[in-house]
Amino acid sequence: MQQQSSYIFRGGLVTLSGLALLVAMYITVGWLIVSGDAATLQEAREQYDAMFPTALQDGGVRMATAIFASFLAFVLAFVGRNHVEGARRSIAQVIMILAALLTVVNLTWVLR
C-alpha cells in the first residue's frame, strides 16, 4: 500500500508540472498572440492586461509568475519522471524541455 500511494503521489508531480507549464504558457504565449493581432503596442497592452485578474495587471508580477511557474514545472517534472514509466515519463521529459525554453524566453524578456 505504501509503494502504491508513493507512485500515485509521484505521478501526480508530473500532472502538477503540466498545470504549472500551462500557466507559464498562458502568460508567455498570450502576449505573442495578442501583440501579433493588435494594431499598436498600446492596444496590445490593454488587451493583454484584460486577460488577467487585477493582481496580475502589473507586468513585473506577471513576468515573475511566468518564470516561477516554468521553473516549478521543470523541477516537478524532473522529480516525477524518475518514478513513472511509459507515456508519463515521455510527457515529463517534454514538460522539462518546454519549461526550460519558457524560462529562458521569460528571463530574456526581463533582462532586455
pLDDT digits (tens, 9 = 90+) for 75-91: 999 988 888 888 888 99
Which pLDDT tens digit goes with each residue over 89-108? 899 999 999 999 999 988 88
Residue burial 23-60, b: 16+ Cβ < 10 Å; e: rest: bbbebbebbeebeeeeeeeeebeebbeeebeeebeeee
Cα-Cα end-to-end distance for the chain: 51
Q: For residue 51, name the pLDDT band (cuts at 50, 70, 90).
A: confident
